[in-house]
Amino acid sequence: MSSSILFACFLGSLPLVLSSDWGYLPENGPVVWGQHYPTCNEFAQSPLDLDLFTAEPSYGAGELKTIGYRTLHNATVNQNGHTFTVSFKNVPEDEHPMIHGGSLPPGEKFSFVTLHLHWGSDSSRGSEHRLTGYEFPAEIHLVHWNTKYPDFPSAAQESDGLAVAGFFLQVSNQTNVNYAPVIDGLLKLAGHPDHFDVDIGHLSLHSLLTTKGAADHLHYKGSLTTPPCTENVFWNVFLDPINISEEQLIKIRSLRDGHNQPLR
Ligand SMILES: [Zn+2]
């Protein structure tokens, strides 16, 4: 597997991250993250250019399984100065959606905490991972923590603490109606400060993913792709892209942070 290091993934609500001292501008972007976060200069850093011709096929590890991905929960959107996130509220900890199996440690379950999106300034760029050099216009990351630890902040400190399911988005002629509540909610964030929550009604994770469900995916052990770049993430990147319309992507690209600067 080739390992050209690209942009960066932000794990939405990770409490270790101070949003003020890193970003994606020349003066605070990935090239200089290592000055404040030494781990960002180490070896097993994500994301990768995933090479379909040399990568380990996922079927050797078995199918990645989900629990509760079709269950409807009350959802909120907000933006944190870097990206937007979708979270569930008032869900008892043991009723959060979970993933297990596949290349994850046998018998261990990983609980969903939040999802976020990466996108670019136009549809020629935006995804964090690449597939054999190809960059998609956006990539969604569903962040989970290993429930053998007491909670998400504790798991985030451990070498086997996190698992992310990543899906590419591709441009389609048709509106993805399942994304409409999310995008409508995001547009209501305008004029509000960072971390302001907007309720978007009931949502299941499955509705935002591909209809093929747990299709083929590539997996590897990597890192958070934003500071502190901790190398503790089981990455699962699915090959079947999610369709979204150009009009919907344009709305996402119009999002601003609490200082009226573009989120990107
Ligand atoms: Zn990410």
pLDDT at 260: 85
Instruction: Identify whether 82 is a catalytic site residue.
Output: yes
CA of 61 to the centre of ligand 1 (A): 23
What is the mean predicted confidence (pLDDT) over 209-220? 72
Distance from residue 130's CA to the centre of ligand 1 (Å): 13
The alpha carbon of 177 and the centre of ligand 1 are apart by a number of angstroms equal to: 23
Model confidence over 26-74: pLDDT tens digits?
667 666 666 666 666 655 566 767 766 555 555 556 788 999 999 999 9
**Dist. CA 141 → ligand 1 center (Å):** 5
| Cβ–Cβ < 8 Å for 74, 90 | yes
Pairing of strands 138-146, 198-203: unpaired
Percent of the chain surpassing pLDDT 90: 52
Is 96 designated active site?
A: no
CATH code of the region 19-253: 3.10.200.10
Buried b (16+ CB within 10 A) or exposed e, 81-95: bbbbbbbbeebeeee
pLDDT at 51: 66
More confident residue, 230 or 200: 200
Residue 250 φ/ψ region, left for φ over 0, alpha for ψ in the -120 to 50 degree band, beta for the rest: alpha
Residues 73, 82, 129, 217: which is the catalytic one?
A: 82
CA 49, CA 135: separation in Å to the nearest integer? 9
Structural contact between residues 206 and 242, judged by C-beta atoms closer than 8 angstroms: no
